[in-house]
Structure 1
Amino acid sequence: MDSLVSMRVFCLVAELKSFATAAQRLRISPAMASKHVMQLEKRLGTRLLNRTSRRVSLSESGALYFEQARQMLDSLDEVEAAVSNATVVPHGTLRLTAPVWMANTIFAGVLADYQARYPDVRLDVDLSGRLVNLVEEGFDLALRATGTPDEALIARPITRVPFYMVATRAYLDRAGPPTKPADLAGQAMLHYALYPGESVSFTGEHGTETVKLNPVLRSGNETLLHMAALQGMGLAFLPKWLVAADIAAGRLEHVMPGQVIFEGKLFAVYPSRKYLSAKVRTFIDFVAADRRMR
């Protein structure tokens, strides 16, 4: 039995979590798919998949083998396509991690359009907000808004990310509408926990001025800060994509829009150029080219 074929069968079963569905995709019987995996397990001397009557899941050894095998197969597909001047059709599961605030209609639209163009790619998106280890946790790609990407990883800039200071009209009327940075000193701040310090620097036509605010709520979850801002709890410093619709609808106001506070960059981060599969490459190119992300 061809070991390479068995490896492809195993990877597809692992991705789809089903022998029957994988067999249908490969146009073989479920029994043959099971035979391929059993042969692979026998050759490796370890169980790769845990099987019950209702579900299939990776064992600890299977998870390790799956990540290495998937990278190898993706790389092989790329090499064969280059030699034969063919185009590799993106396929499989793209595991992606991104900031919490990317749970917005703009990014959801980008995901929908990408999947419509590449229907053989399944998207597994983690928006937990934690800084994951791409290699150890088996992620293909991370989208990260930062000024200093990890030097141990490959980072491609995608777009600029403006951050706005926003608040409701009710809050601004209560606290006093600011006309200059000094007016913000001591005001209620909905503070992002990963942002160092409680002072904010404003750069405008008269130079840079730093003011200290009063953090009445601290959280590492931008969605909570966004909702608290909508409740009139205080000032929040949030990405434009998350608050643009609220500003347009009048639910939030952009506080002193002439004062530039911070504009970060969104990077596509991945472990190595060596195993840049078609699904990763096309996703990065698709996001970078989409006008909604600018």
Structure 2
Amino acid sequence: MKLPDFEAWAIFASVVEHRSFSGAADALAVSKATVSKAITRLEARLGTSLFHRTSRRLTLTDSGRALADHAQRILSEGQTAEEAAFESASAPVGLVRLAAPLTFGIRHLAPALAEFMALHPGIKIDLRLSDAFVDIVGEGIDIAIRIAELPDSSLRARRLGPVNGHIVASPAYFDRVGRPRHPADLAHHACFVYTNTATPDVWRFRRAGGEEAAVRIDGPIRTDNGDAMLPALRAGLGVARLPDFLVSEELAAGRLESVLDDWAIGAAGLHLLTPPGTLRPARVEALIEFLSDRLKRMCGEVHL
């Protein structure tokens, strides 16, 4: 049995990440011809095309998409094995790619990273903040922070703590429209829709004793960022379901009011995710342990 063409697999992974032969060549410090030959060699061995090539665009074929994650793991684990050998005799160094939700990243993660980087001056952070779903493996992310109910997947997940949610609106809105006494009442309210969930138009509730409720909601705003709802909430235009870290100051100041507090909202948690596999560079392990400690404590102190 012939050994796999590990070089070609690694080059394929780099082409997928950089979306071009030239980008992969620059990243790997090889010629574009070397990249092209490696892809041709791999396609011939597999008996299938990995890319659709035109003069303007390079896109993955169905076969290419199916194999991209495998290629990324081959490249990642090879790099990790080499880096582990080098790093065992020195302090962690190098780049860590980190993804997190936008508002949480700005309010809580960025201050923690400043502390981490002061402790580890040899580590660089590529921080990507977005509420959109991030393909951790496909985009080469080392660590992702997610606030969600996680589906089963091949990713490694560490739950750091619960994230408490609130049903909120301005006191003026509730004075005008009325305060809901049961989740079902929300069907008659102007509810803002946060779109980065599996079922954005349905809010689910559970109360001590086991009673459950699900209500289909609708309203004047649909957005993929909770911060964007706050001005309209303050203006009395509707109701939103938002996490504590977004609304705690608003509630304390009396600008917003929380209702239905005897109901639990969903089962979201704060999670730290990493790609499949057990080998990780020392710099990634260092950041994982630091963030796990800081964010676990934050969950207990701030009641996320």
TM over 0.5: yes
The one-character-per-residue Cα deviations of 1:70-92 (angstroms, maximum 9, x if unpaired) are 864543342456xxxx6752322
Asked if structure 2 preserves the Cα contact closer than 8 Å seen for 1:101 and 1:239, the reply is: no
Q: CA deviation at 1:188?
A: 0.7
Question: Please, which of 240, 243, 248 is the counterpart of residue 247 of structure 2?
Answer: 243
Partner of 2:4: none
Change in CA separation of 1:141 and 1:178 when aligned onto 2, cut-off 3 Å = same
User: Shift of the alpha carbon at 1:189?
Assistant: 0.6
Task: Give the equivalent residue in structure 1 for 2:266.
Answer: 262
Q: Distance in 2 between matches of 1:89 and 1:70?
A: 20
Q: Which residue of 1 aligns with 2:98?
A: 96
Deviation at 1:197, TM superposition (A): 5.2
Question: Offset of 1:104 from its aligned partner?
Answer: 4.2
Structure 1 residue 258, shift from structure 2 partner: 1.7
Partner deviation per Cα, 1:148-194 (whole Å, 9 max, x = no partner): 34522222222222222221212222221233334333101110113
Measured in 1, the distance between the counterparts of 2:90 and 2:270 equals 27
Deviation at 1:118, TM superposition (A): 1.9
Report the equivalent of 1:55.
Answer: none
The structure 2 residue matched to 1:192, chosen from 186, 191, 194, is 194
Q: How many Å separate the matches in 2 of 1:169 and 1:155?
A: 39
Aligned-partner residue type, residue 135 of structure 2: N
| Cα distance change on mapping 1:232 and 1:113 into 2, 3 Å | farther
| Matched residue type, 2:244 | K
Among 154, 167, 178, the residue aligned to 1:165: 167
Q: 252, 257, 263: which is aligned to 2:256?
A: 252
2:137 — aligned with what?
A: 135
Aligned-partner residue type, residue 187 of structure 1: H
CA shift for structure 1 position 262:
1.8
Matched, 1:224 2:228: yes
What is the CA deviation profile of residues 125-150 of structure 1, one whole-angstrom value per residue up to 9, with x for unaligned ones? 11222222223322212112232345
Cα distance in 1 for residues equivalent to 2:177 and 2:270: 33
Name the Cα RMSD after superposition.
Answer: 3.0
State the match for 2:84 in structure 1.
78
Deviations 1:249-278 (A, max 9, x none): 222222222211123122222223344122
User: Which residue does 1:175 correspond to in 2?
Assistant: 177
Aligned with 2:91: secondary structure?
coil
State the partner residue of 1:292. Answer: 298
Q: 2: CA distance between counterparts of 1:64 and 1:174?
A: 62
Q: 1:135–1:213: structure 2 CA closer, same or farther, 3 Å change rule?
A: closer
| 2:110 is aligned with 1:108 | yes
Question: TM-score scaled by structure 2?
Answer: 0.66
Where in structure 2 are the equivalents of 1:116-135 lying within 5 Å? 116-135=118-137
> Are 1:202 and 2:166 counterparts?
no
Q: Which TM-score applies when normalising by structure 1?
A: 0.68
Sort the Cα spacing of 1:69 and 1:209 in 2 relative to 1 into closer, same or farther, 3 A: closer
- TM-superposed deviation, 1:69: 7.7
Q: Which runs of 5+ in 1 are unaligned?
A: 1-57
| Residue in structure 2 matched with residue 145 of structure 1 by the alignment | 147
Listed one character per residue, the Cα deviations across residues 32-80 of structure 1 (whole Å, up to 9, x for unaligned) are: xxxxxxxxxxxxxxxxxxxxxxxxxx83323367998886454334245
Distance 1:123 1:233, change over 3 A: farther
The percent identity for this pair of structures is 30
User: Offset of 1:205 from its aligned partner?
Assistant: 4.2
Flag the 1:185–1:126 CA change in 2: closer, same or farther, 3 A.
same
Query: SS of 2:263's equivalent?
Result: coil
Kindly indicate whether the alpha-carbon contact (under 8 Å) linking 1:78 and 1:278 is maintained by their aligned counterparts in 2.
yes
Alpha-carbon separation, structure 2, partners of 1:211 and 1:133: 30
Equivalent residue letter for 2:24: E
Deviation string for 1:210-239 (max 9, x for gaps)? Answer: 333332211222221234323322111112
Q: Distance in 2 between matches of 1:143 and 1:166?
A: 25
- Partners of 1:149 and 1:189 lie apart in 2 by 25
Q: Rate the CA distance shift 1:184–1:134 in 2: closer, same or farther, 3 A.
A: closer
Q: Distance in 2 between matches of 1:64 and 1:268?
A: 29
Q: Counterpart of 1:59 in 2: which secondary structure?
A: helix
